[in-house]
Amino acid sequence: MATVEYDGIGKSFGPVKVMENISFTIDTQKFVVLLGPSGCGKTTLLRMTAGLETISAGEIRMAGERVNEIHPRDRDIAMVFQTYALYPTMTVFDNIAFSLQVRKVAPEEIKRQVEEAAEILNLTDYLKRYPKALSGGQRQRVAMGRALVRHPKVFLFDEPLSNLDAKLRGQMRFEIRRIHDRLNTTTIYVTHDQIEAMTMADEIVVMNGGRIEQIGTPEEIYDRPANCFVADFIGSPSINLLKGIVERQDGRAVMRVGESGLHLPENTSAREGQSLVYGMRPLDIEVGDSGEASGTVEFVENTGAETHLHINFDGHDIRAVAQGRLRVKTGDRLNFTINPEKVHLFDQTSEKRID
């Protein structure tokens, strides 16, 4: 069992409070991603977990035991950083073996463990090479090999893929997740990249300004964002958020934008007169000949498989994504429909989800 519990965690650097009252639990064997914009505190929380940063308030427990005062070396964790920090004068084998050699593990056992890690990481053919003769992705794998041979209770990753190009990042996402599924070691992974979070996590902890905005599976976070911040942070291209007031039109609740009344979901709890934020994901906007709303095309981007549109809708910039290649150009008038059941509604004052 290697649960990680955060109980009322706070952090101050001198007089500056950067985190307050963070409480949540990571179940054993889970892959949890701490996600948030730069400066939200995710690295600080990870470093407190590792013991590299003191804890100003609250308690961190691993496998039920308080670790606040335990030295990083004795926490039974292994951390992989953004910079791989390999020893340049050592071969891949020795880089991976280093921590075992320090612990005076028997040479044949070291060989067995390094070879096993190399096999998991597809590094078997590279054990005699030096870091300078490796690609960025291979170096990152060596860094992971060093973590694997320690068989820790918990893996901690701090933006491990930031230095890789987009294609390699995609491959390594898959490989890190595959390793997790093979070893089932509890993993905490820090990133500001929502794609990494969405594709790798069992659970995402969305952070902002030293607070937790939402915890949930990738599907929960995408399908039911708890507030405007999460809705805006998750999803690419990002969600359209329009402000307005609830009215009744032909017996149905709508949010008025200029001439158009945007339909609210059938069973909404939004009250007439309530100030709302109306969220529509670009993929949920259906462009066609007929539609309840219309606007002028301001910009068209063809990505190959999809057409990304910016539509001027009564002075608001609405992004829509259509499958395939639409024959539209800047200045065209376009109709669109929004399925009201796919709309995300937030109260304008609290910015919290309603319904």
Could you tell me which stretch among 31-39, 164-172, 232-240, 247-255 binds ligand ATP (CB under 6 A)?
A: 31-39
- Does residue 18 interact with ligand ATP by CB under 6 A? yes
Choice from 10, 27, 29, 39 touching ligand ATP (CB under 6 A) = 39
**At closest approach, how far in Å is the CB of 279 from ligand ATP?**
24
Q: Minimal CA–CA distance to 121: which of 85, 153, 162, 93?
A: 93
- Does residue 42 interact with ligand ATP by CB under 6 A? yes
| Closer residue to ligand ATP (CB): 158 or 284 | 158
Choice from 9, 44, 169, 344 touching ligand ATP (CB under 6 A) = 44
- Cα–Cα distance measured from residue 288 to residue 8, given in angstroms and rounded to the nearest whole number: 51
Structure tokens at 91: 């071969």
Structure tokens at 183: 């070893």
In three-state secondary structure terms, 93 is helix
- Does residue 160 interact with ligand ATP by CB under 6 A? no
- Cα–Cα distance measured from residue 351 to residue 233, given in angstroms and rounded to the nearest whole number: 14
- What is the x/- site pattern for ligand ATP, positions 278-317, by CB under 6 A? ----------------------------------------
**At closest approach, how far in Å is the CB of 346 from ligand ATP?**
24
Decide if 172 contacts 137 (C-beta within 8 A).
yes
Q: What is the CA radius of gyration of the chain?
A: 25
Neighbouring C-beta atoms of residue 270, cutoff 10 Å: 20
- Does residue 13 interact with ligand ATP by CB under 6 A? yes
| Closer residue to ligand ATP (CB): 120 or 207 | 207
- Does residue 353 interact with ligand ATP by CB under 6 A? no
- Does residue 97 interact with ligand ATP by CB under 6 A? no
Residues of this chain that bind ligand ATP (CB under 6 A)? 13, 18, 36, 38-44, 192
